[in-house]
């Protein structure tokens, strides 16, 4: 009888540890995969058709982050790469532009590099983005500013970083404000190439 009780307690302990490990790990992961145009929300597609002119090479993505679903269309306009994100109902959230190191204000780039040097023993910045929030702003004006690549105090920077911590390399998204001050860091899952559309 004692061995059965001991086995049940041991089983409960292992179960609780596994559940807590899985739950805590899920809260900080982000995953993005490509989808077909017909899987993109209709309202978001209409918004893109009405607001984005002279763009090409549209691609559509679905991103899952801490239980929230975001849809993104990526396109090229005036030789720049853009991403326009929407919530699950097709409402615009933000627009981002892929940028290079030279596009950052010097002080901001120095500040965010200082953070990365403290956070990781080694790191490599794979991509850099400049984000404009569309939720609480005048979307017409914000889109105009984004398409002109205007630096505003309200914009954020997103870096895709491969960083080494505890002797392991992992991929992260790291967010900073316009001054280069840290906002948040989250792990990203490797791309699922089974879902890639050719």
Domain of 137, in residue numbers: 2-190
In a domain, 198, yes or no: no
In a domain, 70, yes or no: yes
The total number of structural domains that make up the chain: 1
In a domain, 23, yes or no: yes
In a domain, 177, yes or no: yes
In a domain, 166, yes or no: yes
In a domain, 181, yes or no: yes
Q: Residue 42: give its domain's CATH number.
A: 3.10.450
Per-residue pLDDT reduced to its tens digit, 111-148: 999 999 999 999 999 999 999 999 877 888 999 999 99
| 72: Cα separation from own chain's centroid | 10
Lowest mean pLDDT among 65-69, 73-77, 117-121, 178-182: 65-69
29/62 Cα distance (integer angstroms): 14
């Amino acid at each position: 009888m004692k061995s059965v009780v001991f086995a049940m307690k041991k089983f409960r302990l292992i179960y609780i540890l596994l559940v807590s490990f899985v739950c805590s790990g899920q809260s900080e992961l982000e995953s993005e995969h490509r989808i077909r145009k017909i899987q993109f929300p209709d309202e978001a597609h209409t918004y893109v058709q009405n607001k984005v002119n002279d763009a090409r090479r549209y691609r559509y993505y679905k991103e899952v982050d801490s239980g929230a679903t975001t849809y993104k269309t990526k396109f090229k306009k005036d030789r720049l790469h853009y991403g326009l994100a929407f919530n699950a109902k097709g409402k615009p959230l933000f627009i981002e532009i892929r940028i290079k190191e030279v596009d950052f204000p010097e002080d901001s780039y120095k500040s965010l590099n200082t953070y990365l040097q403290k956070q990781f023993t080694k790191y490599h910045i794979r991509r850099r983005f400049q984000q404009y929030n569309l939720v609480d702003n005048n979307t017409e004006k914000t889109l105009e500013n984004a398409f002109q690549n205007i630096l505003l105090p309200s914009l954020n920077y997103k870096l895709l970083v491969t960083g080494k911590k505890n002797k392991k390399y992992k991929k992260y998204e790291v967010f900073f404000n316009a001054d280069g001050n840290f906002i948040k860091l989250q792990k990203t899952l490797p791309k699922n190439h089974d879902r890639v559309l050719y």
